[in-house]
Amino acid sequence: MEYRILGRTGLRVSAVALGCEGFIHKTPEEVCADFDFAIGHGVNFIDIYSPNPELRTNIGAALEGRRGDFVIQGHLCTTWENGQYLRTRDPEKTLASFDLQLQQLRTDCLDIGMIHYVDAEADFHRVFGGEIIRIAQRLREEGRIRHIGISSHNPAVARMAVETGLVDVLMFSVNPCYDLQPAGDDVEALWAEESYAGALRNIDPDRERLYELCERTGVGIDAMKVYGGGDLLNAENSPFGKAMTPVQCIEYALTRPGVASVMVGCRTQDEIRAALDWCGASPAERDYASAMAGMERFTWEGHCMYCGHCAPCSAGIDIATVHKFHNLAVAQGEIPETVREHYAALTHHASECIGCGACETRCPFGVEIVASMRRAAERFGY
């Protein structure tokens, strides 16, 4: 298993993590067996959005005796009423559900207290201008949550949340289909057929700016919906008309700036194993570009997707990483100190490009890499 630091939280999390939906309606024994399997393969991170009391209780039992080795991301503003989960902004219901969550999970704190599902701008102002954010801050001061997070599907609203400086973690939907779509507060539009009826070109600028902002400011992203609700794994359902593998979907999400971990919803151990296959996958198996390049209606032409097809560089430059650092600096308008340090730590730098162009012949997206290396060398000074 690969472990990454979740932004400025300092938490060391497994790159492949667990969503909770696959454990709903399972017996305590089944949940425990699934956790044994996942933990045995290095998983140490879970998101628990659902307030389903049976689910929380079963997960609490499965983590008994090993809570200290596991990072729990629980949600604020979800409540269980009349046998179903509801999102709430009611302070009393939020606190009551939170207290019950700790009890059911058999813990005295959450590593991340995730403010649940903020997609609309009006809801953002209600949350961050009202009692909910104050509740989250108070719980953090009391040590009952360690870090504050927010979950969203809307890059514009997620950016507003990150810019407050109040959140350390963003849970966000990341996959190549959603990345084509403009910002909006209708989550259903992300996988509606009509959203992909016309030609789409390159990653939406709002989404790209969001990922880069999180990378620069140390807000860790844990990605959800990496399979697009399963549609990307099926050629008939995928807007691309091609099936991607779980490994390709996970690799795509984990190569976006700021992303530390992916939350995969798995109903069976076979599905957990399919996600864990990413850990030992070869570069060819992780290659998502093969499923994205050469499409008639969807194109990323001229845009670095960090896929690594340009390698190996004749001069030993890690071209994808240089592109990533350069894009971060361009987006900021200056070179952030952390980006400067990370660039300096590279074994080879953009100025070492010999202009042979071998990388360009391998790039599936037609990026003018030699010119990009020159621009990076000019910006960084070497």
Which position has the higher pLDDT, 331 or 316? 316
Q: Please spell the DSSP secondary structure of 206-272, one letter per residue.
A: HHHHHHHHHHHHT-EEEEE-TTTTTGGG-TTTSTTSSPPPHHHHHHHHHTSTTEEEEEE--SSHHHH
Task: Give the separation between CA 79 and CA 95, rounded to whole angstroms.
Answer: 10
Backbone angles phi, psi at 113, to 5 degrees: -100, 105
| pLDDT tens digits for range 190-249 | 767 677 767 666 788 899 899 999 999 999 999 999 998 788 888 887 878 888 999 999
Task: Give the pairing of strands 45-48 and 84-87.
Answer: unpaired
Task: Give the separation between CA 135 and CA 130, rounded to whole angstroms.
Answer: 9
pLDDT for the residue numbered 3: 98
pLDDT for the residue numbered 323: 86
| pLDDT tens digits for range 56-100 | 999 999 999 988 889 999 999 999 998 888 899 999 999 999 999
pLDDT for the residue numbered 300: 66
Q: Please spell the DSSP secondary structure of 155-171, one letter per residue.
A: HHHHHHHHHTT--SEEE
| pLDDT tens digits for range 43-62 | 999 999 999 999 999 999 99
Which position has the higher pLDDT, 374 or 331? 374
Token couple for 98: 């939170």
pLDDT at residue 250 is higher than 90: yes
The number of residues making up the chain comes to 382
- Tell me what the mean pLDDT of segment 346-355 comes to: 91
Q: What is the residue-averaged pLDDT of the chain?
A: 90
Q: What is the CA radius of gyration of the chain?
A: 21
- Tell me what the mean pLDDT of segment 162-168 comes to: 97
Task: Give the separation between CA 370 and CA 355, rounded to whole angstroms.
Answer: 6
pLDDT for the residue numbered 54: 95
| pLDDT tens digits for range 141-152 | 999 999 999 999
pLDDT at residue 4 is higher than 80: yes
Please report which residue ranges of the chain form alpha helices under DSSP H.
Answer: 28-40, 53-62, 91-105, 121-128, 131-141, 155-163, 205-217, 246-254, 269-276, 283-286, 289-292, 319-332, 337-344, 358-362, 369-380
Token couple for 78: 């979800």
**Percent of the chain residues topping a pLDDT of 70:** 96
CA atoms within 13 A on the CB side of 24: 14
pLDDT at residue 127 is higher than 90: yes
Q: The domain 3-282: what is its CATH number? A: 3.20.20.100
Task: Give the separation between CA 259 and CA 208, rounded to whole angstroms.
Answer: 12
Which amino acid is present at 371?
A
pLDDT for the residue numbered 296: 67
pLDDT for the residue numbered 361: 87
pLDDT at residue 251 is higher than 90: yes
pLDDT at residue 161 is higher than 70: yes
> What does the domain layout of the chain look like in residue ranges?
3-282, 319-380
